[in-house]
Amino acid sequence: MGKYRLLALDLDGTLLNDQSEVSETNAAWVKHAVDAGVTVCVSTGRGFVGALPIVDQLGLDTPMITVNGGEIWSKPHALHRRTLLEADKVMKLHGLAEQYDIWFWAYTPEDVYNKERWAGDTIARKWLKFGFYSQDTSILNAILKEIHTWNGLEITNSSPFNIEINPAGVSKATALMEVCRMRGYDMSEVVAVGDSLNDIAAIRASGLGVAMGNAQDEVKAMADVVTGSNQENGVAQIIQNYVLKA
């Protein structure tokens, strides 16, 4: 076993290519890492239902981090911890989305709601994450300006054209720290790979923080290493050149 014991992989824009597929090369190197004793942990903004097919495809039976750390799973289907976003805040976020008439979505533990299909009784439901999407960055900036004045929110993105909101203190970094506590690892033994603002905290907190070649510039600036893009099997490159060589 090398110096790195846990590999935390974002999905969209990182492990997955632009067709939302795991390439044969990435899949093969993930298997090499697992066979070498490395714990491979999916760390994604997706909900559990959206992440599970990728985990199943890779044959992983290891911890999962979903909805940006809002849920931590000790293994698939075994929930370790869930942190909810207050329903009254979801109501305010929903109102803001309607005010600007833009696409939005929100996760509950069981489902995803959006502009086309919204939950009837917002207060009665349990919420994990809320998101806004627009290619009009002036609208996103106006929303950011507003919600930065609110308390109790963790604000990131998973692309330059969205905003993602979790409860304050919830991030992929805090979730990774909990996974390390569960497994008896130190954060210095973690490699975290990602491409968006929701990956920055984990990249900074880990022993090796990796930005994808297609990552947002802010992510690259915080990373220790920049690997190839998600179209160039950047995850496989990191496993080959760092995780299994360390």
Instruction: Pick the catalytic residue from 10, 12, 195, 199.
Output: 10
> What is the rounded average pLDDT for all residues in the chain?
96
Q: Is the pLDDT of residue 245 over 90?
A: no
In the chain, the domains with their CATH numbers are: 6-82+170-243 (3.40.50.1000), 87-167 (3.30.1240.10)
Rounded Cα gap, residues 162 and 140, in angstroms: 7
pLDDT reported for residue 121? 86
pLDDT reported for residue 2? 74
What token pair was written down for 163?
Answer: 């905003």
Is 195 assigned a catalytic role? no
Mean pLDDT of 74-87: 98
Mean pLDDT of 25-47: 98
- Classify the phi-psi angles of 226: left when phi > 0, otherwise alpha if psi is within -120 to 50, otherwise beta: beta
Under 8 Å between Cβ of 39 and 45 = no
As a whole number of angstroms, the longest Cα–Cα distance in the chain is 54
Residue with tokens 């947002």: 216
The 10s digit of each residue's pLDDT in 195-215 is 999 999 999 999 999 999 999
pLDDT reported for residue 164? 97
The dihedrals phi and psi of 131, each to the nearest 5 degrees, come to -140, 150
Rounded Cα gap, residues 81 and 49, in angstroms: 16
Distance of CA 26 to the CA centre of its chain: 18
Query: Based on C-alpha coordinates, what's the Rg of the chain?
Result: 17
DSSP state of 16: B
pTM: 0.95
